[in-house]
């Protein structure tokens, strides 16, 4: 705490640059357009390959009104399908996760699909003229895997996944994320717009006020941000000299990830991979967040803590200090995000000025306005027209 | 179970014939138009005459935003009125059923109406110029009675009730439904559009998968459907040779209804009397369902089991086997209807093809589209303009 | 009870004069326009000065989507501010009441405001070009105090408060309301439009039916109403000859307010100060109601009982008879208001005729239609455009 604050050497900003008008955080119609233009068009972090290791294992994710099954198929690859029967539209399964035994069968009329989505059995269709099972596969959702992270993309014409990563795969190669194993999952519900969570994540000038325990370990002005990208925002912060990792306990003898440089062993990397993943890379563990917007003012967040098997195998391995550190920090951030939602939704709200240390938020706002059309599109999302 | 499946001799259907687009099941504006064009224009099954035997006895029903009192009036007839005072619009009574003592009095200012709806007392109106009590009767809702079933019609110009029955009264005369007595009532709440319940009811190709206990008693392909009518859809299924009735117990020594033919003693008749009644006529009991749509994705269902007094008087009479049989079957169907609603409301839903054994569903869909205008009407339902 | 009913000497009314169409009580869009044109434009009763006696003491009120802090400032005056930080719009505080220690600090980035609303500290804004703290005070809400009652006004250009009172301050001077102290507060939630509460309050022809205990103490036709004003409606009723006050107990030896005339000691004054205050002035106590509309069919009501300190200091002082009298009466009125909402929202509702003893209701309806534009205004209430 005794270190002098780093000088504010970042570029100036104008007081005329302002936060967005309230309706971007409160209007259900705008929220629907965000779902369409962002969440149904970009790559979304959906889970980890370790969750579906066996053939037929699956988990479900909901994105807007899309319900997606992510499944390990017969070839060993990760596939994803809309959870809707092609006969009369029945939801194929309710369970959030489980394992299909070689096929996916609709509970209504027993239409049956292979794990590759092909319709293999459709009873009582023998007198339906021009009915060809090949015309009625499960509808596929695009998937990609990076370092154990599964991404899905609901667009019929997804952008190349490598463009989405835009170099992150090379940068974070030394962490060998694909080898890491989840130790804890906690779920949170925020009465806040999803963008407020990303904005909260993208600046640390709130840290001294909001996160006393974090500020003991990292100086909140030590961060260096990268130039904002079309698909991610991020940077790193330095650990204070005497600090080895972020933990509420003294139990962190687990050692750093072995392939990290000396420099990376003194840093925590904080990256928002747009639109729904927050990735915290520590010297000795990884925290991931996935954001699931449910309404303009309601977002579900899944937070997971991952370690390396070699750490976990060590006698006395204890992740609780890292888990509780971030659980406490999360709750502080969620409360602020909820208060921001309440204030922005209030009649008294007016767009306000940014600090020049909030430059990523302004970049994020510009990205949002460029990405989402102001007027509703003519495309009918339910395919009804 | 060993019987060979009957051959599929029904007419072919084209794979181009499809289920309806999602919005017909999810759009609140379409739902409102259905309420207006179907539920406020057709005859609705509301209850049984045995529920209101004494003068002044009443029950209430809600149809969209209409609240209707159905009452036995002084003449012994069944009348129905809007449950709204003509003074300042107060709800006249809250109770779902009860008995008026000779008149209906508003709890607010004591305006009082006869059981025929005439305003008989309106205090403090002596200095209201041109106030004539005869101008302010309770607003009447049309009623009709068929074989103990009470129907109501909210239209100011109801279609003739005989056109609605379209011959069902003659067909089901031998069951003497007016003599039957309710033994059980169960209420269900479905998170499904009302049409999905009728569609589920109108085909049995889901039966082997969904209803193992039903399939033990009836072969699911034994049904013969009548040509669809403008006001009802229906047909019958044969009992398997060794089966006498549908029951989960061995307690069915109650005997068939005495006026049934030998043929009808081997059949169960399943009729959907549009839009809100399902009528199951068994050799030895009757099950009725009334459907009460509350939202595009929410429907309340009242299911009642009826027997003949001569059966009930028999020593050892026990209806529980029939009740539990249908309660189990109902719950299986409601789960499938809920899954259909979830899937159809999903982004992945696309209209799908019918089996030729689902011809009643296609007829129902055509009926729906012919009956409900695509554009909202200019009529303001609250009478405010 | 034996007194003859006073003759109906009020002017006649025509049966063509009717209650309002349903949409004024049920349409969310109309409700929003009422919030804008009435509740965000008129003076609202918000609380009592005794609630915030110490410097920094505050309470919050919500009006539509406005969240307002009412605070005792350093000068000893009552101020009010929007509860929204000028930086990124965070809600400054959640608590419904409390005490600020000399300043109001945002929990997010520590922007700090004086009790006069001036921005006194804004960290990390040193490199924001043209940032002047004087440009970002808390947004002030107008306040006025009358006889201990605090009023707020959300309009940027409030009408003069003296025009709002329109003489009530002189009329009720003898009650010395500023000296009274709150003894009880009860909160109620009504599933009724706020206007139905005012209409219920503005006539007593419902009293014999609805309020038997009130009718024992006051003849319901004894009231004399004043000509309706643009900002209030009211009148008085006489106590029956043997009655000294309205109480369910015999415990009312507390004596009248000492400055009242003999005439006022025989009367209860009932005033609706539009749009959100009901003021009952009794010979020996005061009851106040504040109405907080939350939706077209939902209103929160705060009811408070106030006495003079000289009464409270008397041995054996017991307010419970007066409290329970009005709690019982309130619940009777709320039930009727809820029934009115249900009936008016029903399909069967049609505008009905008034008694000539309901003339204040007709005046209120005319006031409403004159005050609220039929078409939505072009003004965007969230300041976003």
Residue in B with minimal Cα distance to A384? B21
pLDDT value of position C283: 96
Which range among B375-379, C72-76, C296-300 shows the weakest confidence by mean pLDDT? B375-379
pLDDT value of position B376: 66
Check C336 against B40: CB less than 8 A apart. Answer: no
pLDDT value of position B223: 80
CA distance C20 to chain B (A): 8
Contact (CB, 8 A) for B265 and B256: yes
Nearest to A109 among B19, B205, B346 (CB): B205
Residue numbers in C near A343 (CB within 8 A) = 67, 83-85, 89-92
Q: Is the model's pLDDT at B379 over the cut of 80? A: no
Q: Is the model's pLDDT at C282 over the cut of 50? A: yes
Most confident of A189-203, A220-234, C2-16: A189-203
CA distance A272 to chain B (A): 26
Which range among A185-199, B1-15, B165-179, C173-187 shows the weakest confidence by mean pLDDT? B1-15
Predicted confidence band of residue A253 (pLDDT cuts 50, 70, 90)? confident
pLDDT value of position B201: 97
Predicted confidence band of residue C376 (pLDDT cuts 50, 70, 90)? low
pLDDT value of position A365: 98
pLDDT value of position B4: 53
Contact (CB, 8 A) for B38 and B159: no
If you search the block for the tokens 């959870």, which residue do you land on? A83
Q: Is the CB of residue C89 less than 8 Å away from at least one CB of chain A?
A: yes
- Which chains touch A (3+ CB pairs under 8 A)? B, C
Q: Is B199 helix (H, G, I), strand (E, B) or coil?
A: helix
CA atoms within 13 A on the CB side of C36: 17
Predicted confidence band of residue B6 (pLDDT cuts 50, 70, 90)? low
Sequence spans of domains, chain C? 1-39+166-375, 43-158
Do the domains A43-158 and A1-41+168-376 match in fold? no
Predicted confidence band of residue B253 (pLDDT cuts 50, 70, 90)? confident
Nearest to B384 among C21, C339, C342 (CB): C21
Q: Is the CB of residue A16 less than 8 Å away from at least one CB of chain C?
A: yes
pLDDT value of position B254: 87
- Which chains touch B (3+ CB pairs under 8 A)? A, C
DSSP C139-185: PEEEEEEETTEEEEE--SSPPPHHHHHTTHHHHTGGG-GGG-EEEEE
User: In a mutagenesis test of the B interface, which of A88, A90, A111 is the best target, namely the one with the most B β-carbons within 10 Å?
Assistant: A88
| Greater model confidence, A7 or B360 | B360
| Greater model confidence, B251 or B35 | B35
Check A67 against B342: CB less than 8 A apart. Answer: yes
Check C385 against A336: CB less than 8 A apart. Answer: no
pLDDT value of position B377: 55
Predicted confidence (pLDDT) per residue in A14-41, tens digit: 999 999 999 999 999 999 999 999 999 9
pLDDT value of position A44: 98
DSSP B357: G
pLDDT value of position B342: 98
Closest C-alpha among C112, C121, C64, C58 to residue C90: C112
Check C87 against A336: CB less than 8 A apart. Answer: no
Contact (CB, 8 A) for C326 and C217: no
* Mean of pLDDT values over A55-65: 98
Domain covering B23-41+167-371: architecture = Alpha-Beta Complex (3.90)
pLDDT value of position A5: 60
| Sequence-distant (≥ 6) Cβ neighbours of residue B66 within 8 angstroms | B40, B82, B141, B154, C346, C347, C348
Q: Is the CB of residue A88 less than 8 Å away from at least one CB of chain B?
A: yes
Q: Indicate the pTM of the whole model.
A: 0.94
C1-39+166-375: CATH homologous superfamily?
Naphthalene 1,2-dioxygenase Alpha Subunit; Chain A, domain 1 (3.90.380.10)
Averaged pLDDT of chain C? 94
Residue numbers in C near B60 (CB within 8 A) = none
Predicted confidence band of residue B115 (pLDDT cuts 50, 70, 90)? very high
CA distance B153 to chain C (A): 13
Residue numbers in B near A135 (CB within 8 A) = 15
User: In a mutagenesis test of the B interface, which of A91, A96, A117, A132 is the best target, namely the one with the most B β-carbons within 10 Å?
Assistant: A91
What's the rounded Cα separation, in Å, for the pair A46 and C340?
50
The class (CATH top level) of B43-158 is mainly beta
What's the rounded Cα separation, in Å, for the pair A48 and C383?
43
Check A91 against B339: CB less than 8 A apart. Answer: yes
- Which ipTM score applies to this complex? 0.94
Predicted confidence band of residue C2 (pLDDT cuts 50, 70, 90)? very low
A1-41+168-376: CATH homologous superfamily?
Naphthalene 1,2-dioxygenase Alpha Subunit; Chain A, domain 1 (3.90.380.10)
pLDDT value of position B249: 87
Residue in C with minimal Cα distance to A210? C108
């Amino acid at each position: 705490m005794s270190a002098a604050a780093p000088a504010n050497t970042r570029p100036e900003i104008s007081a005329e640059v302002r936060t967005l008008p309230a309706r971007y955080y409160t209007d259900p119609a705008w929220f629907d357009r965000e779902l369409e233009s962002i969440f149904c068009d970009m790559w979304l972090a959906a889970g980890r390959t370790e969750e579906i290791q066996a053939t037929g294992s699956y988990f479900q994710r909901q994105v807007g009104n899309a319900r997606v099954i992510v499944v390990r198929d017969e070839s060993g690859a990760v596939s994803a399908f809309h959870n809707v029967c092609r006969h009369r539209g029945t939801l194929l399964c309710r369970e959030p996760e489980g394992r299909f035994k070689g096929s996916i069968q609709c509970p209504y009329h027993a239409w049956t699909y292979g794990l590759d989505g092909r319709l293999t059995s459709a009873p009582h269709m023998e007198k339906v003229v021009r009915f060809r099972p090949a015309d009625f596969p499960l509808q596929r959702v695009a998937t990609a895997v990076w370092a154990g992270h599964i991404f899905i993309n609901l667009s019929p014409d997804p952008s190349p996944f490598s463009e989405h990563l835009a170099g992150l795969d090379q940068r974070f190669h030394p962490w060998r994320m694909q080898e890491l194993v989840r130790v804890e999952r906690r779920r949170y519900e925020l009465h806040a717009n999803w963008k407020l969570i990303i904005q909260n994540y993208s600046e640390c000038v709130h840290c001294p006020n909001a996160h006393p325990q974090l500020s003991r370990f990292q100086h909140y002005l030590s961060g260096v941000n990268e130039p904002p990208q079309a698909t991610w925002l991020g940077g790193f912060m330095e650990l204070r000299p005497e600090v080895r990792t972020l933990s509420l306990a003294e139990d962190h003898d687990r050692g750093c990830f072995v392939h990290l440089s000396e420099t990376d062993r003194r840093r925590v990397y904080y990256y928002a991979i747009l639109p729904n993943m927050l990735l915290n890379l520590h010297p000795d563990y990884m925290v991931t967040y996935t954001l699931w917007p449910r309404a303009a003012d309601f977002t579900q967040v899944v937070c997971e803590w991952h370690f390396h098997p070699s750490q976990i195998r060590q006698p006395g391995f204890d992740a609780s200090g890292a888990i509780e550190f971030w659980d406490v920090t999360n709750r502080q951030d969620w409360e602020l995000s909820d208060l921001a939602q309440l204030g922005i939704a209030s009649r008294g709200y007016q767009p306000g000025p940014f600090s020049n240390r909030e430059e990523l938020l302004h970049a994020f706002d510009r990205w949002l306005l460029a990405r989402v059309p102001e007027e509703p599109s003519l495309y009918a999302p339910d395919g009804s027209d």
